[in-house]
Amino acid sequence: MGFPEKAYDRLSNLSTHWGITQEDVYYAIENDLLRVCVWLPLRYMECCIIKGRKFVYEQHEHKTGFIGVRPEDFHKISSTGCAKLRIFRSIKSEAHIFRLAYEPPQPALSVRIHDLIVLKEDRKTFEAIYKVASEENNDKVSDFSASPDYHHVIMNGEEYHLGDVQACIVQQLHDAAASMTPWVHGKTLLYSASSKAAHLRDVFKSKNDWRKIIISNGRGYYRLNLPDSNNTLIEKTEAA
């Protein structure tokens, strides 16, 4: 019995499946040639249409499930690895926009690059128009996976168990690797991880092989040790 056809795909799977670069996938999304979606937890939304660059309210409704991400918001996410969004596209009607209602107060939805998916129907439409499907690449496996808290990482087939600060740094680099700027300054990594260490090597002194995970450009910047990191989209998955 074969594996059932998936209802959606992660961006990393599409890049591998189609045999094109991450940059090409991102270009298609940013230019509204390919729609991406994110899972919306139950929220109270305003359903609107846009007329003359203004939101025209139609109704309120509770909504959950996959919802479209606007190309301009995808650009923010791909540039930084994460963005806080309040406005989304309907996946049923191109004319409709959903906006998080301000009453009752609701926080913006924090969306990371790894949260984005492409629905099956959108993938098939894109493949039919642009003839990009490449079945020969289906068996390729991502070089990186991590548990949700990043304490357990598999990198290039090797397993690593990380402490809290170490995991936070790897998570930052994972987000950066999925953006167009995979290199992050060491001071930024340490500050964001609330570490008082002076150097990145001090954080990883308990891991003699930490440079198998992280590499430096010799000028204070670091990235995950993945081939062609700036052109390869990697996916966060549940590590066993």
Q: For the chain, what are the domain ranges?
A: 8-137, 144-231
Assign domain 144-231 to a CATH class.
mainly alpha
Q: Which residues pair with 161 in a beta bridge?
A: 152
> Rounded to whole angstroms, how far apart are CA atoms 226 and 228?
6
Cβ contact 114:236 at 8 Å: yes
Q: Which residues pair with 56 in a beta bridge?
A: 49
Task: Give the model's pLDDT for residue 2.
Answer: 56
Q: What is the pLDDT of residues 146-205, one digit of tens each?
A: 888 899 998 877 889 999 999 999 999 988 887 778 899 999 999 999 999 999 999 999
Q: Which residues pair with 146 in a beta bridge?
A: 153
Residue 82 has pLDDT above 60, yes or no: yes
Task: Give the model's pLDDT for residue 139.
Answer: 40
Q: What is the pTM of this model?
A: 0.58
Residue entry with tokens 């994110």: 38
Task: Give the model's pLDDT for residue 203.
Answer: 94
Q: What is the pLDDT of residues 4-57, one digit of tens each?
A: 778 999 887 788 788 888 889 999 999 999 999 999 999 999 999 877 777 788
